[in-house]
Amino acid sequence: MAVLPVVDMHACMPLLPRQTLATRWHFQALAHNRLVTRYCGHCERHQFPPLDWCPGCGARDSRWRELAGTGTLYASTRMHAVADAFRPFAPVTVGVVDLVEGVRVLAWLLSPELVPDAPVQLVSLRFDDGNLLGARLLEETT
């Protein structure tokens, strides 16, 4: 199983996500630097964000699965204008990352110079009160 590399942020999260009975396992796993989400056995596909139902077929029996944490960068933007909560981190570079399991996630890019289609490795950005996904160039030999 893939443990995501950890980067310590030495700060509180800009915004705190709400955790529900249906999603808390994702957040608890991320606190342990692992990325898990739901997988629907009928559709044979992962979903992200995790839901208590499958948006493909409506089934309510999707299972938790761990993701490898690797994929490719679809696009990114360096944001100079940000909401107040994000000012301590500005400029913030956000990337859209397509994971090998076929789901699309957002992540803060640790390598702002990355261009679309670059292979990336997700990392766990460890804040004092939670975690966000980060991404950096995937090293060929890990």
Partner 1 sequence: MSLSPSVAVLASRALPVGRYMPGRGAAGAVLEHERLADVVLAALGDAGVAPREVGALLFTANPPPTLQLGFAPFFASRLGISAQAQMLEVSALGATGAAAFDLAVNEVRLGHTEVAVALGVRFESQAATAEAMAAGIRAVGDVDFQSVYGLTPIAWYALDAARYCHDSGATRRDLAAVAVKSREFARRNPLAQLRDPLSLEAVLAAPPIVEPLGLFDVPARGDGAVCIVVGSERRARSGARIAVAGRGYAHDGHHQMGMTPHSMTRLPAARQAASRAMATAGVTLDALDVLELYAPCTITEVLVTEALGLFAPGHGASAALEGRTGPGGDRPVNTSGGCLSRGHPSSITGLYGLHEVVEQLQHHAGERQLPGARVGLALAEGGNYNTALAHCLVREEA
Could you give the CA distance from residue 104 to residue 102 in angstroms, rounded to a whole number? 7
Among 47, 62, 121, 124, interactor with partner 1 by CB under 8 A: 47
Q: Of 35, 56, 55, 42, give the one whose Cα is nearest residue 101.
A: 35
| 128 touches partner 1 by CB under 8 A | no
CA angle at 90 for the pair 75 and 86, rounded to the nearest 5° = 95
**Residue among 33 and 118 whose Cβ is closer to partner 1:** 118
Distance of closest approach, residue 137 Cβ to partner 1, in angstroms: 16
Distance of closest approach, residue 31 Cβ to partner 1, in angstroms: 14
Half-sphere exposure of 125 (CA within 13 A, CB side): 17
Could you give the CA distance from residue 134 to residue 59 in angstroms, rounded to a whole number? 31
Among 104, 113, 128, 129, interactor with partner 1 by CB under 8 A: 104
| 41 touches partner 1 by CB under 8 A | no
| 7 touches partner 1 by CB under 8 A | no
Among 60, 81, 141, 142, interactor with partner 1 by CB under 8 A: 81
